[in-house]
């Protein structure tokens, strides 16, 4: 699972959750220009925080879109669905052969700690991983006035490395880049997700017809003082690379649950094949 077996230029599919017209995916494509043959399949509209949602009750449409990088035009489709829909549709319908690598981003805003679960950016890469493809999600930890240049350079470096080495089966890389100019980034760190949660409140407001509506608001709380976390890396000016997987089984919990009233005839101690 790395460079094309034929030795041809690797095929790289780009996706995101901010939508195909967002500046982040344009910066990503420009940054990866020359690394391989690029394809862009991404939601037509912003799909941030949709997580791993897929569309099953409505049709999904794809529209060809003009998309340029410095070396020329790139085949691109806008999809009327979610990030996960976009990757599925790209791999099953739009591309004539599967990509060697899927890169999702560059997201505007971090996807660290518990936010990985809500992220459409990460879910596009996770979907690729489920399909057996190597995948990377890239996010820039800046909401306000994102400068994607440094994040693009790191995306190129990490994507090139992944194409050369391949990733472990079932594992994707969640990359977060601190909001700093390239020369002020300290380096790159392999991290784990920090334990965290949102302390949430809803703003209760009233619409013009006097009916109440609610707007989710909250404060992010880091519950983890570890040094090897994604949040710690970003705070200290490092690019954070967290290997993640979609298998949510809590393998460490089996021992502590062993005394439960489970049917003992049901046994299989083999770990799942990738
Ligand atoms: Mn987003």
Domains and CATH numbers, the chain: 11-193+226-270 (3.40.1210.10)
**Cα-to-centroid distance, 159 and ligand 1 (Å):** 20
DSSP labels, 41-87: EEESS--TT-TT----SS---EEE---EETTEE--EEEESS-HHHHH
- Percent pLDDT > 70 in the chain is 95
The alpha carbon of 107 and the centre of ligand 1 are apart by a number of angstroms equal to 5
Asked if pLDDT for residue 197 goes beyond 50, the answer is yes
Residue 174 Cα to ligand 1 midpoint, Å, equals 14
Q: What is the pLDDT of residue 269?
A: 67
pLDDT, tens digit (0-9, with 9 covering 90-100), for 16-50: 999 999 999 999 999 999 999 999 999 999 999 99
Q: How far is the CA of 141 from the centre of ligand 1 (A)?
A: 11
**What digits encode the pLDDT tens for the residues 68-77?**
999 999 999 9
Q: Which residues pair with 112 in a beta bridge?
A: none
pLDDT for 239 beyond 90? yes
Q: Which of the 8 DSSP states describes residue 263?
A: -
Q: How far is the CA of 48 from the centre of ligand 1 (A)?
A: 4
- Ligand 1 midpoint to CA 109 (Å): 7
Token digits of residue 181: 């100019």
Ligand 1 center from residue 117 Cα (angstroms): 13
CA distance 236 to 228: 11
Cis peptide before 106 (omega within 30 of 0): yes
Q: Could you give the CA distance from residue 14 to residue 105 in angstroms, rounded to a whole number? A: 8
pLDDT in tens, 204-215: 999 999 999 999
Residue range 250-259, pLDDT digits in tens: 999 999 999 9
Taken in order 29, 101, 137, 94, is the CA torsion positive or negative? positive
| Main-chain phi, psi angles of 97, to 5 degrees | -155, 155
Average pLDDT over residues 130-154: 96
**Mean of the pLDDT values across residues 80-91?**
98
Is the pLDDT at 7 greater than 90? The verdict is: no
Task: Specify the pLDDT at position 2.
Answer: 46
Q: Across residues 108-120, what is the average pLDDT?
A: 97
Question: Is-contact 7 37, C-beta < 8 A?
Answer: no
């Amino acid at each position: 699972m790395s460079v094309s077996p034929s030795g041809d230029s690797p095929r790289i599919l780009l996706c995101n959750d901010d939508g195909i017209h967002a500046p982040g995916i344009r910066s990503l494509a420009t940054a990866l220009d020359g690394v391989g043959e690029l394809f862009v399949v991404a939601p037509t509209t912003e799909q941030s925080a949709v997580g791993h949602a897929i569309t099953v009750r409505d049709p999904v449409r794809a529209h060809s879109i003009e998309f340029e990088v410095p070396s020329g035009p790139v085949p691109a489709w806008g999809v009327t669905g979610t990030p996960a829909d976009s990757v599925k549709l790209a791999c099953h319908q739009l591309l004539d052969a599967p990509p060697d690598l899927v890169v999702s981003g560059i997201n505007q805003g971090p996807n660290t700690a518990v936010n990985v679960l809500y992220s459409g950016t990460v879910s596009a890469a996770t979907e690729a991983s489920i399909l057996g493809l190597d995948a990377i999600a890239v996010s820039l930890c800046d909401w306000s006035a994102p400068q994607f240049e440094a994040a693009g350079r790191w995306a190129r470096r990490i994507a090139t490395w992944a194409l050369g080495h391949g990733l472990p089966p079932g594992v994707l890389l969640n990359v977060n880049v601190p909001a700093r100019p390239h020369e002020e980034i300290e380096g790159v760190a392999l991290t784990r997700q920090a334990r965290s949660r949102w302390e949430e409140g809803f703003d209760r407001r009233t619409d013009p017809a006097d009916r109440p509506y609610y707007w989710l608001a909250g404060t992010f709380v880091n519950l983890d003082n570890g040094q090897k976390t994604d949040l710690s890396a970003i705070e200290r000016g490092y690019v954070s690379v967290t290997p993640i997987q979609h298998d949510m089984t809590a393998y460490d919990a089996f021992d502590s649950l062993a005394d439960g009233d489970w049917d003992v005839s049901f046994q299989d101690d083999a770990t799942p094949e990738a």
